[in-house]
Amino acid sequence: MKISLGPQTLIYPNPVLIVGSYDNAGKANVMTAAWGGIVCSDPPCVSVSLRKATYTFGNIAERKAFTISIPSEHHVKEADHFGIKSGRNEDKFSMTRLTPVKSEIVDAPYVKEFPVVLECRLLHMHELGLHTQFVGQIMDVKIEEDVAGEGGRPDIRKIRPFVYDHSSMAYYGIGGVVGKAFKIGNEL
Amino acid sequence: MKISLGPQTLIYPNPVLIVGSYDNAGKANVMTAAWGGIVCSDPPCVSVSLRKATYTFGNIAERKAFTISIPSEHHVKEADHFGIKSGRNEDKFSMTRLTPVKSEIVDAPYVKEFPVVLECRLLHMHELGLHTQFVGQIMDVKIEEDVAGEGGRPDIRKIRPFVYDHSSMAYYGIGGVVGKAFKIGNEL
């Protein structure tokens, strides 16, 4: 039997997206966002939803560009830190001793030490309420060479991304394979 | 060093969202989508991106409502099946022996056997290209009582959701805790 919890933002899984942008003085900033994901295959687009109060909001609106860096478990502390502090009051790269890399494709920085990076130009801003959704066209995806697996494709077991559980406010790793997509469903 | 993969829809993790809708004859249908997630905290909103070619697209555009059911690992075959077949040619509930439940709040059905359900009314449709993004206001969240944990809150270890890896086209389970959010980042 089902229990009603009322309206709330519950879903599984939430990603941990590190959004990179430049402020108007050219300082690299990053923030952590869990409200986002892929939204279109062609053109390839990703979205991330931000509150107007964030420093990143103004940066992206101004520069029309952002990056998304996906952290591995090794950097869970840094990824969490990026979601606690504001770039208004702190240089998050100096604080975490991570390295901003200027994208050669879009006007935004990404995190050198993180294994997967999406470089995006801003296509749309959708006002939804407390959050505004920024839709970016993915101009390139870059991965660290040591997370490439079979055929040069990114290997999730080497990337070791993690998920955010909003209910327990904890991060969880990725477990084992539970099935092949577009295949296991044919067994029925 | 980073390798360029070109523009593509890579992100970690992708969710496995089972989108429920009624067709114009009132037949319950479900389809699997990986392009979606929470997009706003207030009002609480979720988005899911669909191609015009899907049966679900017309259903939601017509009924202005949909549900999202989150499957557990136990039902990975059924969840995958929902993404392989089309509701135009098959009654997916009969085929998988799962049960459609008519929402009392919105004009859409959800999957009785799945542990977490979001009931949504359509707020926006954003044309992005191959995909159109459907933004729904979450009117209620329901969970199966046996997945409630501490304080009645949903327990991810009982829900056992899984993620979709687009690179290897496989589903992965959720692993162990790697840190407490809004906390472990203060250790730096």
Distance CA B161, CA B68 (A): 13
Please write the tens of the pLDDT for every residue from A123-172: 999 999 999 999 999 999 999 999 999 899 999 999 999 999 999 999 99
Instruction: Give the confidence band of B89 by pLDDT, cuts at 50, 70, 90.
Output: confident
Which helix or strand (DSSP H or E) is residue B55 part of?
helix B55-63
Residue A48's pLDDT band, with cuts at 50, 70 and 90, is very high
Identify the DSSP state of B152. Answer: G
Q: What are the pLDDT digits (tens) for A13-26?
A: 999 999 999 999 99
B45, B178, B186: residue with CB nearest A173: B178
What pLDDT sits at residue A76? 98
Residue A122 corresponds to which tokens in the numbers above? 């801003």
Yes or no, beta carbons of B37 and A40 under 8 Å apart: no
Higher pLDDT, A188 or B53: B53
CB contact set of B57 (below 8 Å; sequence gap of 6+):
B50, B51, B132
What pLDDT is attached to residue B103?
98
Q: Spell out which residues of chain A touch residue B2, defining contact as CB-CB under 8 Å.
A: 117, 142-145
Residue B87: pLDDT over 90: no
- Cα separation, A84 vs A80, whole angstroms: 7
Chain B residues with CB-CB distance to A92 below 8 A: none
Please give the class, per CATH, of domain B14-187: mainly beta
- B78 has pLDDT over 90: yes
Interface confidence, given as ipTM, is 0.97
| Tally of CB atoms within 10 A around B129 | 16
Report the C-alpha gap between B119 and B139 in whole angstroms: 6
Q: What is the pLDDT of residue B188?
A: 86
pLDDT of the residue at B33: 98
Torsions phi, psi for A150 (to 5 deg): -50, 130
pLDDT of residue A188: 86
- pTM, two decimal places: 0.97
Which among B8, B11, B101 is the top mutation candidate for probing chain A, defined by the most A β-carbons within 10 Å of its own β-carbon?
Answer: B11
Across A29-50, average pLDDT:
98
Tens digit of pLDDT for each residue in B136-146? 999 999 999 99
Q: In the predicted model, what is the mean pLDDT of residues B119-148?
A: 98
Neighbours of B88 (CB within 10 A): 11
Residue partners of A94: CB distance under 8 A and separation at least 6: none
Return phi, psi of residue A124, to 5°: -145, 150
The answer, for B143 touching chain A at a CB cutoff of 8 Å, is: yes
pLDDT tens-digit readout, A126-140: 999 999 999 999 999
- Residue B170 is nearest to which of A1, A128, A181, comparing CB atoms? A181
Q: Which of residues 17-36 of B touch A (CB under 8 A)?
A: 17, 34-36
CB-CB: which of A35, A41, A76 is closest to B38? A35
Query: Which segments within chain A are labelled E, that is strand?
Result: 2-6, 17-22, 28-33, 36-40, 45-51, 65-70, 100-102, 109-111, 116-127, 131-144, 163-165, 170-180
Instruction: Please tell me the distance from the alpha carbon of residue A23 to that of residue A130, in angstroms, as a whole number.
Output: 22
Report the number of secondary-structure helices (H) and strands (E) in chain A: 4, 12
Contact state of B172 with A173 under an 8 Å Cβ cutoff: no
Segment B104-116 mean pLDDT: 98
8 Å CB contact between A144 and B157: no
Burial class (CB in 10 A: 0-12, 13-18, 19+), B24: exposed
Asked if A40 is an interface residue toward chain B (Cβ–Cβ < 8 A), one would say: yes
Q: How far apart are the first and last CA of chain A?
A: 25
Amino acid at B81: H
**Residue B58: band (very low, low, confident or very high) from pLDDT cuts 50, 70, 90:** very high
Q: State whether residue A100 is helix, strand or coil.
A: strand
A44 interfacial to chain B (CB closer than 8 Å): yes
